[in-house]
Amino acid sequence: MSTFVLVHGAWHGGWCWDKVVPLLREAGNRVLTVDLPGHGTDTTATSQVTLQDYTDHLCRVLDNESEQVILVGHSMGGLVITQTAEYRPEQIQLLVYLCAFLPENGQTLLQILERDNKESPLPIVKSEDNTYLKLHEPFIKDVFFGECSENDALEAQQKLCLQPPLPFVTPVRVTEDHFGRVPRAYIETLKDKAISPGCQRAMYTRTPCKYMITMDTDHSPFLSQPEVLSSHLKDLAEQMEL
């Protein structure tokens, strides 16, 4: 069976995969979740966290694995798995972008975000000293958890953390010889209000993916449709074994 490494997005932690992990393990897969620096149980100060810190952390996770992994990134996690694939292409069987940022070489997350949200910017609030980013509370459920149950949305909202700002403005540096040789899959979400379907389509059009999956849900499929998401991930793993 496969080894999945699940990477959360901005403001989140490894906890966001809690509904998905047991479903993948039931099928005999190994599943690892990470808390990136400054997220979840990691107490690194947000002002100090860089994209390189994220990438170094994920590289260490991969270095501890004896076989290739399926690396899944949600939202901002797409940025992290992209840069990690540049450094560790031989250790990754498949990159899976779950309604995630799929940047081109030299692009920053903020550039993609600003292009996507010209009409209605995301409810992001920057601290006065520029040490963290947070979300404007009244809009969180609609933007991130619109298709989730009230209980799941409330619980997730209570677990959200402050977001380090530096990874948003740091360009990704990738090459065809490294990142470019790792197979990619994209799972687009049609009711997404954080990264619009149009933005997702533009990213996977510019950087084509071998496998394409569509889910009719919001920006948090791991909460709104965990069974469907898990089924798609298991199907991708089976495709890689053919």
Percentage of residues in the chain having pLDDT higher than 90: 95
The Cβ of residue 97 has, within 10 Å, a number of other Cβ atoms equal to 27
Query: What's the pLDDT score for residue 185?
Result: 99
Burial 28-48 (b: 16+ CB within 10 A, else e): ebebbbbbbbbbbebeeebee
Per-residue pLDDT at 120: 59
Task: Give the right CATH number for 3-241 from 3.10.20.520, 3.40.50.720, 3.40.50.1820, 1.10.510.10.
Answer: 3.40.50.1820
What pLDDT, in 10s, does the model give residues 84-135? 999 999 999 999 999 999 999 999 999 999 888 765 567 899 999 999 999 9
* Model pLDDT, residue 121: 66
Per-residue pLDDT reduced to its tens digit, 145-178? 999 999 999 999 999 999 999 999 999 999 999 9
Q: Give the residue extent of every domain in the chain.
A: 3-241
pLDDT at position 124: 92
In angstroms, rounded to a whole number, what is the distance separating the alpha carbons of residues 188 and 231? 15
State how far the Cα of 216 lies from the Cα of 206, in Å rounded to an integer: 22
pLDDT for the residue 88 = 99
Compute, in degrees rounded to 10, the torsion defined by CA atoms 77, 37, 169, 162. 90
DSSP 3-state percent helix, strand, coil across the chain (nearest 5)? 45, 15, 40
Q: How confident is the model at residue 65 (pLDDT cuts 50, 70, 90)?
A: very high
